[in-house]
Chains A and B, each alone.
Chain A
C-alpha cells in the first residue's frame, strides 16, 4: 500500500517564525510531490509542487525533496496568522496519494 505520512499536529509557531512541515512517502517510484493548503471548510489550494531533489523556493515558501530518504518538507518563512490552515502533502501524477494533513497554527 503506497502511503504518504504526515504528523497531524497541531504545529504552533509564533508570528514571524519559520514553520517546518514534514512528510515521508513509501513509493520510491513517485516522481512528483506537492503541498496543498486547506483552510477550514474550504477546498485545497496548491502551494508548491516539486519533482527534483533539492530546494524549490516561491516567495515565503520553500519545498525540499530528498528522494534517497523519501522525505518532502515545506518551510514557511515569516509565518503569518493567515497561514493557519491544514497543509496536505501528496505524491502522484495521475493517481494521487495524500497525507492526512498537518494543522498549522500561527500565533499572533
Chain B
C-alpha cells in the first residue's frame, strides 16, 4: 500500500530533551515536506526537500532541523524542544512534477 508513515504518532516530552520524528514514504517521491498545524494558525510549512541532500526552509523553520540522506526518509529533529513546539506535525510527499501531496497520519507532540 502506498503510504507515508510517521513515528511516533504521539509523544509527550520535556523541555530540552532532543527528539526525532521519523517520516518514511514508499512511493519513490522526490519531494518531501514537514508541516505543523496549530488551532487558529492553520498548516505551516517547516522544511521541505526536493530530493536527496537538498533541503530548504519553509515558513517556520526555527527550532527544527531536517536531513534527507535517503529518498524514502525525511526525519524532523528538535534539538532542544520548547513548549511552543507543542503541535500536530504532518509529513507529506509528492512526485516530481505532480501536484498532489500525500500526507502522513500526523504526530501529536506535547512539550512540557
Contacting chain A: which of B12-20, B21-29, B41-49?
B41-49
Residues of A within 8 Å of B99, CB to CB, are 32, 34, 46, 49
Measured CA separation A99–B44 after assembly (Å): 9
Interface string of A5-17 (1 = CB under 8 A from B): 0001000000000
Residues of A within 8 Å of B75, CB to CB, are none
Residues of A within 8 Å of B35, CB to CB, are 98
B85 at the A/B interface (Cβ < 8 Å)? no
How many pairs, one residue from A and one from B, have CB atoms within 8 Å of each other in the complex?
48
Which A residues, 71 to 108, have Cβ-Cβ distances below 8 Å to chain B?
A: 88, 90, 94-101
Beta-carbon nearest neighbor of A46 in chain B: B100
Residues of A within 8 Å of B104, CB to CB, are 43
A57 at the A/B interface (Cβ < 8 Å)? no
Residues of A within 8 Å of B42, CB to CB, are 88, 98-101
Measured CA separation A96–B101 after assembly (Å): 11
Measured CA separation A69–B42 after assembly (Å): 23
Which B residues, 24 to 73, have Cβ-Cβ distances below 8 Å to chain A?
A: 31, 33, 35, 40-45, 48, 50, 56, 58-59
Interface residues on A, range: 10 to 19
A55 at the A/B interface (Cβ < 8 Å)? no
A45 at the A/B interface (Cβ < 8 Å)? yes
Beta-carbon nearest neighbor of A50 in chain B: B99
Measured CA separation A97–B33 after assembly (Å): 12
Expressed in whole angstroms, the minimum distance between the Cβ of A84 and any Cβ of chain B is 18
Task: List 3 tightest A-B contacts by C-beta distance, closest first.
Answer: A100-B42, A43-B103, A98-B43
**Can you give 15 contacting A-B residue pairs, CB < 8 Å?**
A32-B99, A43-B104, A43-B105, A44-B43, A44-B90, A44-B101, A45-B103, A46-B100, A88-B42, A94-B56, A96-B45, A96-B101, A97-B45, A98-B43, A100-B42
